[in-house]
Chain A
Amino acid sequence: MCLTTCPTYDLTKFERSSPRGRIQLIRAVADGRLGITPAFVDEMNFCLDCQACETACPAGVKYGRMVESARVLIEKTKTRHTISDRIKKIGLNFILTSRIRLRIAGFLLWFVQASGIQKALIKTGLLDLFGKNLTEYLKLLPQMKFRNTEGMLKGINLKPRNPSYKVAFLSGCIMDIAFSDVNYDTVKFLLKNNCEVFIPRGQVCCGSLHAHNGEMDTAVKLMKKNIDIFSSEGYDFLVSNSAGCGAFMKEYGHLMEDDAEYKERAGVFSEKVKDFSEFALLLDYSQKMKSPEGVVTYHDACHLVHSQKISSQPREMLSRIPGMKLVNLHESTWCCGSAGIYNVTRYEDSMKFLEKKMGNIRETKADLIITANPGCMLQIQYGLQKDGSQAKVEHPATLMNRLMREE
């Protein structure tokens, strides 16, 4: 059942690039029949971890967890690290673990982008000297924002007088420096719908990037910190506007099962996590909205549809907008190839998945593509740019806030 849903099997038609093939390889390694060979490592990294196979599996096999454990094993047994490994490690364990360091990095990157250095680098082709894809990677980078979430929300009252819900919000790591506008829209939408928004200071990255890349120890540290900080105050739900973060935070409870101290609180923490669209359905917003212009289509982020099994909610949320012209995207649940940092670590493969996605997007003739994960947004944006298309990509929260009239 899993074979037909797997993007890598679809591409190669090789059994070892299929979910059950990889499971057999992992089993062979676990049984000692196979060592951690370069081909094994390659196969584990070729996997997008989109978890479409989990959605299809009749027996409910938790494939994602197996691949992640395999990646942890690969990291642990690595004796030599390449430059890109080192950069990845610094990124994950040094920059992403601290808000201050992250914001400094974000600011530096913003400076490079805003000052025109990036453009110049791309134009001169200087970067091609370092590797043929470096220029393309830069184009895939998100545009850093000058102000982070906190900065954008300065002076805005987050506590309405008689709130319907008290909502906690994780401003995230990459979201905070590159998508603070989406964070702003999310918070504004919640406020316009009479919710109190609780954004605790000292919160950290949710840890998903670390866990997906074999750095589980760091992920655990981050998880504990977030649990401590968020549970300092009571709230109804924790609303997530990033599919990856939401999926991972819903797993805290499971991941902390063996930790006597955190087990219980982690469970409570996870139960309160809701995706933006899940939560929006509790609100009565449609009366207060303008109609969107043009035709809209929706791309399912893997971490929403496959990890969180959320597919009807965002569509329902969008169709409650008056005058919404929502068209169906063929194979909307297929991974766009962004897959975390996959489009950087395996650029060429990633582009093949993007090409398939763009073909389907072209067919919808949509003016606006809605998707709820920053990775997908960047990847599809990049695809549209390559196509020379006029269509735009937007996060659902941005659309929702944009169409919502001020009270």
Chain B
Amino acid sequence: MQYHLVDELKRICGEKNVYDSPEDKIAYSYDGTPLYYKEPLAIVFPQDADQISRIMKFANESEFAVVPRGAGTGLSGGSVPVDNSIVMVMTKWNKILEIDQSNLTAWVEPGVITGNFQREVEKIGLFYPPDPGSLNVCTIGGNVAENAGGLRGLKYGVTKNYVMGYEMVLPTGDVLKFGGKNYKDVAGYNLRDIAIGSEGTLGIFTKILLRLIPLPQRSITMKAHFNSLLDSGRSVAEIIASHIVPSMIEFLDNTTINCIEDYTKIGLPRNAAAMLILEVDGRGDIVDFEANKILEILKTNNGQGIQHTSNADEANILKTARRSAFSALARRAPTVILEDATVPRSELPVMIEKVQEAARKFDLMIGNFGHAGDGNLHPTCLIDERNQSELDRAMKAFDFIFEEAIKLGGTITGEHGTGLAKKQFFEKSAEIPALDLMRKIKSSVDPNNVLNPGKIFSRSPKCESYKF
């Protein structure tokens, strides 16, 4: 069976684009998600949309699964192989096809690296804001499939706000083109948004049309720390209530501050309960006006060590703490589980307390940081996966955290996706009619369940045949 599979794939894509050595299988058995691992039957690098289409048809005939993959930086197991699957790697599709300066749009191939694309459009004064943490590695295709977020979500939105259209190969092998350069287009169902965030379960992108905006001219970066969580929470609430939309409001808790200080020794206040790093951007005097207003709010809410700058180098220094947050935490333990529970921003202070409660209750080290402006937190659990008891406690802690997030009207994932890692939480927390509808969509688009099966949700609630 496998010989036949590899031979046929080679016939479709060419000898040089199909791999099945033990070494290659190991190297494509994982993505950026800890704890998930499975070897595929083969790895294929398709050269054009027609090849993808033929592979999908072949998959339907021969009943193997196809798992699409970009750079493999995802944090929910979206591109980890499943049973009886091949991995389809899109990283070589890395061309920017067109930048249309009259319509402010760009056609790109899915393997274009997000950071490279940003630098390219910034050269001509344009801006593509979504900036997930792995932007220098991850691909646009993966970003659209996961609806990736980033630091600028509050003001500029996330990936979905910048996708105007796409061409994708459906699980049956048909090629679907949808959307275009129209800012307004209401013809038919909005198939665009069903594809965005579909985590590679509904189709494989072959081209993506992105929206661009003018690059902000200047920015002011600010920093303050607080002796109580309440004060930091109040500051954020007041800034938002004063109708200022900063391009960034980042939050660090005491555990994270201490880990960063241990690692960078940049003189952070070890006793501070929280730290905020903020940025406003735009044109002319408005930027100063907004910054002054924010500084005032920080002061009245007992902000300590307040600093601000419009100089890019100095801003970088202020942002060092936030940038090193993940590194500093990651160095503490062999296994780092980075989650992304998100709540309506008014509930943020409560959610922060709940994360601290989880750390105490289950006796774990959990650092907490994240995008305070949009309610997206990154509770980060530091454990050793070889210690079973610690691993079990971590799972219980996340169960608790997700439950509390849902109670507050929040969600189990703000930007990483559900994939395999959060599937069980999703199935528990999602509304039954919504889950049913999603299952129906999946089975009508992919009747034989060949494209990234078993991700996000199991196909049927009682089916236990998929084991990951």
Residues of chain A at the chain B interface (Cβ within 8 Å): 1, 3-4, 13-16, 18, 21, 24-25, 28, 33-34, 37, 39-40, 43, 58-60
Q: Take A3-B137, A4-B136, A13-B92 as given contacts and tell me if A59 and B331 are in contact as well, using a CB distance cutoff of 8 Å.
A: yes
Contact residue among B21, B29, B71, B330 (Cβ-Cβ distance under 8 Å from A39): B21
| CA A143 to CA B22, docked complex, whole Å | 44
Verify if B27 is at the interface (C-beta below 8 Å from A).
Answer: yes
Which chain B residues numbered 130 to 145 have a C-beta less than 8 Å away from chain A? Answer: 134, 136-137
CB distance A4 to B137 under 8 Å?
Answer: yes
CB distance A33 to B24 under 8 Å?
Answer: no
CB distance A60 to B27 under 8 Å?
Answer: no
Q: Take A1-B136, A59-B336 as given contacts and tell me if A34 and B30 are in contact as well, using a CB distance cutoff of 8 Å.
A: no
CB distance B27 to A21 under 8 Å?
Answer: yes
Beyond the given pairs A15-B27, A58-B330, 8 more chain A to chain B contacts, judged by CB atoms under 8 angstroms and listed by A's residue number, are: A1-B134, A4-B113, A15-B24, A21-B27, A24-B27, A24-B29, A34-B23, A59-B330
CB distance A40 to B23 under 8 Å?
Answer: yes
CB distance B327 to A39 under 8 Å?
Answer: no
Q: How far is the CB of A251 from chain B (nearest CB, A)?
A: 19
CB distance B23 to A43 under 8 Å?
Answer: yes
| CA A227 to CA B331, docked complex, whole Å | 31
Verify if B26 is at the interface (C-beta below 8 Å from A).
Answer: yes
In this complex, what residue of B is CB-closest to A60? B331
Question: Which 8 pairs show the lowest CB-CB distances between chains A and B?
Answer: A16-B27, A58-B327, A59-B330, A21-B27, A15-B27, A39-B23, A28-B26, A60-B331
Which chain B residues numbered 197 to 218 have a C-beta less than 8 Å away from chain A? Answer: none
| CA A34 to CA B25, docked complex, whole Å | 11
Contact residue among B19, B26, B71, B91 (Cβ-Cβ distance under 8 Å from A25): B26
Q: How far is the CB of B22 from chain A (nearest CB, A)?
A: 6
| CA A50 to CA B89, docked complex, whole Å | 26
Interface residue range, chain B = 20 to 34
Q: How far is the CB of A379 from chain B (nearest CB, A)?
A: 27
CB distance B136 to A24 under 8 Å?
Answer: no
Q: Take A1-B134, A13-B91, A59-B331 as given contacts and tell me if A25 and B23 are in contact as well, using a CB distance cutoff of 8 Å.
A: yes
CB distance B26 to A3 under 8 Å?
Answer: no
CB distance A15 to B72 under 8 Å?
Answer: yes
CB distance A16 to B91 under 8 Å?
Answer: no
| CA A33 to CA B38, docked complex, whole Å | 13
Which chain B residues numbered 242 to 285 have a C-beta less than 8 Å away from chain A? Answer: none
In this complex, what residue of A is CB-closest to B87? A15
| CA A370 to CA B423, docked complex, whole Å | 54
Verify if B166 is at the interface (C-beta below 8 Å from A).
Answer: no
Verify if B128 is at the interface (C-beta below 8 Å from A).
Answer: no
Q: How far is the CB of A30 from chain B (nearest CB, A)?
A: 12
Q: Take A1-B137, A3-B71 as given contacts and tell me if A14 and B327 are in contact as well, using a CB distance cutoff of 8 Å.
A: no
| A–B Cβ pairs within 8 angstroms, 5 of them | A14-B27, A28-B26, A37-B23, A39-B23, A60-B330
CB distance A60 to B137 under 8 Å?
Answer: no
CB distance A24 to B24 under 8 Å?
Answer: no
Verify if B369 is at the interface (C-beta below 8 Å from A).
Answer: no
Q: How far is the CB of A27 from chain B (nearest CB, A)?
A: 8
CB distance B330 to A16 under 8 Å?
Answer: no
Which chain B residues numbered 72 to 106 have a C-beta less than 8 Å away from chain A? Answer: 72, 89, 91-92
For A24, the chain B residues whose CB sits under 8 A away are 26-27, 29-30
> 0/1 per residue, B319-346, Cβ < 8 Å to A?
0000000110011000010000000000
Q: How far is the CB of B273 from chain A (nearest CB, A)?
A: 25
For B136, the chain A residues whose CB sits under 8 A away are 1, 4
Verify if B28 is at the interface (C-beta below 8 Å from A).
Answer: yes
For B89, the chain A residues whose CB sits under 8 A away are 15
| CA A21 to CA B330, docked complex, whole Å | 19
For B28, the chain A residues whose CB sits under 8 A away are 15
In this complex, what residue of B is CB-closest to A28? B26
For B92, the chain A residues whose CB sits under 8 A away are 13
CB distance A59 to B327 under 8 Å?
Answer: yes
In this complex, what residue of A is CB-closest to B263? A60
CB distance A25 to B326 under 8 Å?
Answer: no
Q: Take A4-B136, A15-B28 as given contacts and tell me if A58 and B326 are in contact as well, using a CB distance cutoff of 8 Å.
A: yes
For A60, the chain B residues whose CB sits under 8 A away are 327, 330-331
For A18, the chain B residues whose CB sits under 8 A away are 27
In this complex, what residue of B is CB-closest to A57? B327
| CA A28 to CA B23, docked complex, whole Å | 9
Looking at B22, B28, B330, the one whose CB has the most chain A CB atoms below 10 A away is B22
> 0/1 per residue, B381-410, Cβ < 8 Å to A?
000000000000000000000000000000
| CA A18 to CA B72, docked complex, whole Å | 12
| CA A34 to CA B336, docked complex, whole Å | 26
Q: How far is the CB of B118 from chain A (nearest CB, A)?
A: 14
| CA A28 to CA B27, docked complex, whole Å | 10
CB distance A34 to B22 under 8 Å?
Answer: yes
For B29, the chain A residues whose CB sits under 8 A away are 24
| CA A18 to CA B71, docked complex, whole Å | 11
| CA A24 to CA B26, docked complex, whole Å | 7
In this complex, what residue of A is CB-closest to B39? A33
